[in-house]
Amino acid sequence: MTKMMDYLTGIVRGEIPPPPIEQTLGFRMVSIEPGRCVMELEIDERHTNPFGTGHGGLICDLADAAMGAACHSMLADDQMCSTLELKTSFLRPALRGKLLAEGRVIKDGRTVSFIECDVKDEKGDLIARATATLLKSSTRRPRKK
């Protein structure tokens, strides 16, 4: 198992605190395996837009977190990844309650990965579908001459 998978599974088991952004927004990683991550969010009043439904930007963030973790689960110990492009299609409003975002690696290339994510409510209704392209790069910094 890679160091990254050890880290991610530690978050799922509650042995390692999640990243600060996930704590701030209220996300929780509920499962991780190579190429797949499920995140959850309990939408409450602090997550709503002026119309009382889940804010679209928050749903994008949830999907991006699930897709990013899915990509990270596939990396070697000397790699990292970052989102190059993100597209989200909203299919219905997110009402208060639990959302589950399942990020899945569709194509894991040498330098670029393509990921998709379905965000569903507690009833299993599809709220949004997102896709992302993530760039994989080395964590090793070249030495200056």
Report the largest interatomic distance among the alpha carbons of the chain, rounded to a whole angstrom.
58
Those residues of the chain that have pLDDT short of 70 are 140-145
Question: pTM of this prediction?
Answer: 0.92
Domain ranges of the chain: 3-138
Instruction: Please name which of 69, 70, 61, 66 lies closest in space to residue 24, comparing C-alpha atoms.
Output: 61
Q: What is the DSSP-derived secondary structure letter of residue 6?
A: H
Domain 3-138 has CATH 3.30.390.50: no
